């Protein structure tokens, strides 16, 4: 591939449009270099479809007054799995006889287009999103992007392959049992499996409607997170869409506490095991504390997905499709659903609820669960010989996730001795997506692996923007790290962002008679100074709890930082400063306390 956009990250596309005079019309050249024979595609944009999108993009830019910042995905090429609707495009779910032309964009596609993204293709998949392999499609098996003798992983095979090879910046997949994670691990890319209900499923052909998640593949965590933040949000047209309660932490502590399976299973794959063990060592380098836990309830819940009545939900999804048109392996799976009764389904739900509670309690006190993305990988020939058994092995560390209402992030972890990639996955309770991304960014920067299968180095990563769902608070005294009231932040899942200083417009006072001792910060018209503060991101729903515990004369107001930013911060009522000791010369509360102890 020679087009200069291949393998670019989101930031590189944005920079090219802003500073290199790249125009969206150049996407026609990129599209012309894509082969319709590539098994990753089911359909490519026609010249007319591309031009219609470019015309819409020009209208959006004009409506934005020419401000590219209002179109964060301006001119960025993307792909979607072909069980997701795009207006005017056929949706096949990898079953030609099922195909229909969509009248409307899926909600997530509409949001991405509104942000300026350009749909280039619809991608191949295991038929009706049933499989973790990438071989169960009449449009052909999608080969691994590093070694064509091996599987790509599925069911979002084409989406992962197109991202790994740098043909699009990002792609949407789906994830019911691991379809948004296994292909990421097999192709050295990032797979963001969001909390159920964060990304709307309106316009998605269901696999298991109660469990399905639209997922995001990208070359970097930063790109996957940015795309999910744009595509996500409550959608009343999706009965399973949920509003984020904004009570979960949005970052990770400097030394995260991670749970790991006590006796991980690799089915004899020593190469995958070695990459995982090396990953454990690298995470310790990042400061992580690794704690072994009993993985039994996770395994028990994973088995429920295909070896219990939950499989009947897949049966419901394809009940109107002629069995003769369904892939034989897929048909064998979905026909098992007819064996179960309504009573079996209720019993299975009780088991799911009990195991889910056990799992979420087991993860309490941890920042995330760390697992291999897949315990092993197989060749296309091996998969043909054992299509069900090996598929089941791939789901060892993925099948339980949606049943237990967890969020997940699949990350590249390095390469095996045979040159194939292997991955790790971070898993946490629902709505911890932003926190997982924060740790994922640190992980990716530590490893600095080449991007996907492009061979391109990881570019310098911009500082992470403030995650949605939190309020950034500047603390100046007893709430600082190690100080007596810091627990009021920690117990509300607040996360330390940085230490910085206020603008030079403040003076700091030691308030008399306060227990524990507290300072008062006051903005002054002249003779101010910069005061050391810590910035903490407090989950939005927990912010009121924090404010309720602040005694007079202190309160929360707006505080200006040295770099000009404004954040919420601790301030003091002016009446309390009369008779208070001016300690501005110490530069911060910690230095003053040290002087008193000395």
Q: Give the whole-angstrom CA distance, residue 309 versus residue 352.
A: 11
d(CA 11, CA 462): 8
Residue 518 appears among annotated catalytic residues = no
Angle between helices 10-19 and 221-231 (to 10 degrees): 80
Rounded Cα–Cα distance for residues 507 and 504 (Å): 9
Active-site residue identified among 43, 121, 145, 155: 155
| 282 given a catalytic annotation | no
The CA–CA distances, whole Å, from 249 to 68, 149, 428, 438, 539 equal 30, 42, 11, 11, 6
Nearest to 198 by CA among 229, 231, 232, 236: 232
**Do β-strands 289-293 and 77-81 pair in parallel, antiparallel, or remain unpaired?**
unpaired
Alpha carbon distance 490, 538 (integer Å): 9
534's tokens: 């810590």
If we measure between CA atoms, which residue out of 282, 284, 270 comes closest to residue 416? Answer: 270
CA dist., res. 252 & res. 292, Å (int): 20
If we measure between CA atoms, which residue out of 129, 136, 80 comes closest to residue 105?
Answer: 80
Burial of 237 (0-12, 13-18, 19+ CB in 10 A): exposed
- Which of 43, 81, 193, 200 is an active site residue? 81
Residue 61 structure tokens: 């830019």
Question: Using omega within 30 degrees of 0 as the cis cutoff, is the peptide bond preceding 5 cis?
Answer: no
Beta-carbon count within 10 A of 421 CB: 27
Paired tokens of 404 = 């237990």
What burial class does residue 169 get, using C-beta atoms within 10 Å of its C-beta: 0-12 exposed, 13-18 middle, 19+ buried? buried
* 3-class SS letters over 243-289: CCCCCCCCCCCCCCEEEEECCCCCCCCHHHHHHHHHHHHHHHHCCCE
Of residues 159, 179, 215, 407, which has the active-site annotation?
A: 179
Q: Are strands 41-44 and 554-560 parallel, antiparallel or unpaired?
A: unpaired
**What is the set of active-site residues?**
81, 155, 179
């Amino acid at each position: 591939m020679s087009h200069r956009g291949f393998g670019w990250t989101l930031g590189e596309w944005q920079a090219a449009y802003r500073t290199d005079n790249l125009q969206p019309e150049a996407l026609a050249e990129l599209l012309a270099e894509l082969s319709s024979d590539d098994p990753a595609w089911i359909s490519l944009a026609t010249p007319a479809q591309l031009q219609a999108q470019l015309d819409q993009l020009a209208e959006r830019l004009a409506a934005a007054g020419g401000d590219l910042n209002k179109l964060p995905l301006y001119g960025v090429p993307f792909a979607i799995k072909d069980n997701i609707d795009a207006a005017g495009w056929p949706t096949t779910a990898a079953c030609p006889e099922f195909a229909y032309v969509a009248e409307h964009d899926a909600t997530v596609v509409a949001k991405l287009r509104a942000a300026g993204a350009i749909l280039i293709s619809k991608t191949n998949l295991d038929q009706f999103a049933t499989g973790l392999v990438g071989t169960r499609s009449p449009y052909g098996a999608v080969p691994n992007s590093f070694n064509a003798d091996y599987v790509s992983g599925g069911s979002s095979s084409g989406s992962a392959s197109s991202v790994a090879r740098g043909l699009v910046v990002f792609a949407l997949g789906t994830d019911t049992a691991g379809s948004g994670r296994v292909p990421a691990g097999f192709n050295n890319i990032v797979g963001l499996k969001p909390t159920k209900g964060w990304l709307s499923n309106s316009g998605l052909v269901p696999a298991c409607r109660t469990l399905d998640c639209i997922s995001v593949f990208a070359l970097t965590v930063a790109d996957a997170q940015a795309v999910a933040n744009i595509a996500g949000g409550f959608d009343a047209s999706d009965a399973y869409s949920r509003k984020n309660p904004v009570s979960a932490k949005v970052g990770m502590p400097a030394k995260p506490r991670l749970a790991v399976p006590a006796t991980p299973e690799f089915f004899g794959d020593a190469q995958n095991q070695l990459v995982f063990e090396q990953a454990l060592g690298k995470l310790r380098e990042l400061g992580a504390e690794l704690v072994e836990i009993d993985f039994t309830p996770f395994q028990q819940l994973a088995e429920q997905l295909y070896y219990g009545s939950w499989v009947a939900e897949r049966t419901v999804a394809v009940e109107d499709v002629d069995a003769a048109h369904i892939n034989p392996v897929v048909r064998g799976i979905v026909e098992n659903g007819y064996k179960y009764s309504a009573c079996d389904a209720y019993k299975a739900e009780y088991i799911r609820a009990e195991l889910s509670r056990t799992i979420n309690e087991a993860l309490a006190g941890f920042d995330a669960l760390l697992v291999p993305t897949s315990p092993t990988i197989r060749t296309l020939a091996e998969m043909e010989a054992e299509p069900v058994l090996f598929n089941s092995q791939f789901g060892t560390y993925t099948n339980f996730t949606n049943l237990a209402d967890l969020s997940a992030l699949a990350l590249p972890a390095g390469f095996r001795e045979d040159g194939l990639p292997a991955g790790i996955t971070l898993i946490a309770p629902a709505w911890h997506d932003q926190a997982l991304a924060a740790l994922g960014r640190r992980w990716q920067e530590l490893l600095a692996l080449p991007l996907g299968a492009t061979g391109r180095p990881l570019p310098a990563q911009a500082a992470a923007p403030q995650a949605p769902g939190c309020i950034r608070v500047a603390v100046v005294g007893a709430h600082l790290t190690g100080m007596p009231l810091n627990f009021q932040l920690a117990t509300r899942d607040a996360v330390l962002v940085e230490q910085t200083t206020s603008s030079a417009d403040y003076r700091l006072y030691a308030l008399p008679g306060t227990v524990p001792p507290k300072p008062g910060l006051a903005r002054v018209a002249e003779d101010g100074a910069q005061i050391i503060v810590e910035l903490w991101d407090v989950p939005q729903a927990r912010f009121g709890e924090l404010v309720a515990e602040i005694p007079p004369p202190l309160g929360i107001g707006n505080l200006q930082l040295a770099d000009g930013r404004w954040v919420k911060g601790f301030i003091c009522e002016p009446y309390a400063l009369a008779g208070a000791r001016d300690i501005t010369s110490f530069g911060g509360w910690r230095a003053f306390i040290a002087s008193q102890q000395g």
